[in-house]
Structure 1
Amino acid sequence: MRNLEQECQPVLLFDGVCNLCNSSVKFILKHEKNQNLKFAAIQSEAGEKLLTHYGRDPNQTNSVILISDNQEYTASDAVLKLTQYLKFPYSSGKILMVVPKTIRDFFYKMVAHNRYNWFGKRESCMIPTPQLRKRFLE
């Protein structure tokens, strides 16, 4: 069996039924530097396998998760780490790492907790277009 980490690096795990999360994935696809980032909905088989591999319960995951360089980044760390994959000026978002993690995560958790109320929820995960399908793990 192939090494799951090597096979899926780097990968962004996101809530596939969250409108904010889906819009964020579309934003990343539009503004990325290159196409080496993969995506997996937390609700997908690949997402569940990766979460389990990293010791997380897929049913209790309330954060975007970026797996990069054999490390797991969650909450505001994941969002700011993602900026390295984006074109300028979005890549400059990494400067926010100077803000203490407790403050960053406070605001992240507020949005995460209210995301369905503020942005809505889908009945099922988004289906990527045929040309993007290779970027999404199933």
Structure 2
Amino acid sequence: MLKRDQRHVFQFATAQSPLGQKLYRDLGLPTQDFPTNLVVVNGAVFQHLDAFAAAMRQLRGPWSLLSMCRFLPRLIKDPTYRLIARNRYAFFGRSETCLVPGPDIRARFAENGY
């Protein structure tokens, strides 16, 4: 998302940060094993495939078309999200190195989540 967010619309927080922990706790989600990413847009919190759709909707160009998945029935959305989440490394690959963020990227994290 850091790469695709050219307009710097998003601010990020790690799930382990105080803000991330509060969001997960407030939603009754586990605070050690994170079953979903969360996306907050105008105060509304989105989870699972709805979080992906909400994020894509904020991007420009062809990426915004992916937000259409929000119209899928939950019966399809939730299993699809879980399937992709479980197999994300097989689908998208895995990096052998971690990003070491510079000051410009660190500034985009709420509460200095890094």
For this structure pair, what is the TM-score category when the shorter chain's length is used for normalisation?
0.7 to 0.9
> Does residue 92 of the first structure (1) align with residue 65 of the second (2)?
yes
- 2:99 and 2:21 map into 1 onto residues whose CA distance is 16
Runs of 4+ in 1 over 3 A off after TM superposition: 114-123
Give 1:60 deviation, angstroms.
3.8
Greater RCO, CA 8 A, separation 6+: 1
Residue equivalent to 2:78: 105
Give 1:106 deviation, angstroms.
1.0
Structure 1 unpaired stretches of 5+: 1-27
Give 1:56 deviation, angstroms.
2.4
Residue equivalent to 2:102: 129
Give the SS at the match of 2:13.
strand
Aligned length: 110
RMSD over equivalenced CA pairs, Å: 2.5
Give the SS at the match of 1:131.
helix
Give 1:67 deviation, angstroms.
1.6
- The TM-score with structure 1 as length reference comes to 0.65
Checking the alignment, whether the CA contact within 8 Å between 1:31 and 1:86 is kept in structure 2 is: yes
Paired AA for residue 57 in structure 1: P
Is the alpha carbon distance of 1:97 and 1:46 closer, same or farther for their aligned partners in structure 2, counting shifts above 3 Å?
A: closer
Give 1:88 deviation, angstroms.
0.6
> Does residue 67 of the first structure (1) align with residue 28 of the second (2)?
no
- 1:85 and 1:41 map into 2 onto residues whose CA distance is 20
Give 1:41 deviation, angstroms.
1.8
Residue equivalent to 1:76: 49
- 1:130 and 1:33 map into 2 onto residues whose CA distance is 17
Match of 2:87 among 114, 121, 132: 114
Structure 2 unpaired stretches of 5+: none
Identity between Structure 1 and Structure 2 (%): 26
